[in-house]
A = this chain, B = another copy of it.
Amino acid sequence: MHMEFPTPAIWFPHRVSYGETDTMGVLYYAEYLHIFERARSEYIRALGMSYAEVERRGIYLPVREAQCRYRAPARYDDLVLVHTAISEWGRASLKFVYELRSEDKTRLLASGMTQHALVNAEGRPVPVPDWFRNLCQNGGDA
Do the beta carbons of A64 and B60 come within 8 Å of each other?
no
Beta-carbon nearest neighbor of A65 in chain B: B69
A62 at the interface (CB under 8 A from B): yes
Number of identical protomers:
4
- Complex contacts, A31 vs chain B, CB 8 Å: 30
Within A1-53, the residues touching B (CB, 8 Å) are 15, 17-19, 21-25, 28-31, 33-34, 37-38, 41, 50-52
Contact in complex: A66, B29 (CB < 8 Å): yes
Cβ B33 vs Cβ A18 within 8 A: no
Question: How many residues from A make CB contacts under 8 Å with B?
Answer: 35
A112, closest chain B residue (CB): B66
Residue A142, interface by CB 8 Å: no
A63 to B112, CA, bound (A): 14
Identify which of A29, A51, A69 gathers the most chain B CB atoms within 10 Å of its CB: A29
A27 to chain B: closest CB distance in Å?
10
Whether B22 lies near A22 (C-beta < 8 A) is yes
A19 close to B34 (CB less than 8 A)? yes
CB distance from A69 to the nearest CB of B (A): 5
Mark interface residues in A97-117 (1 if CB within 8 Å of B CB, else 0).
000000000000000001000
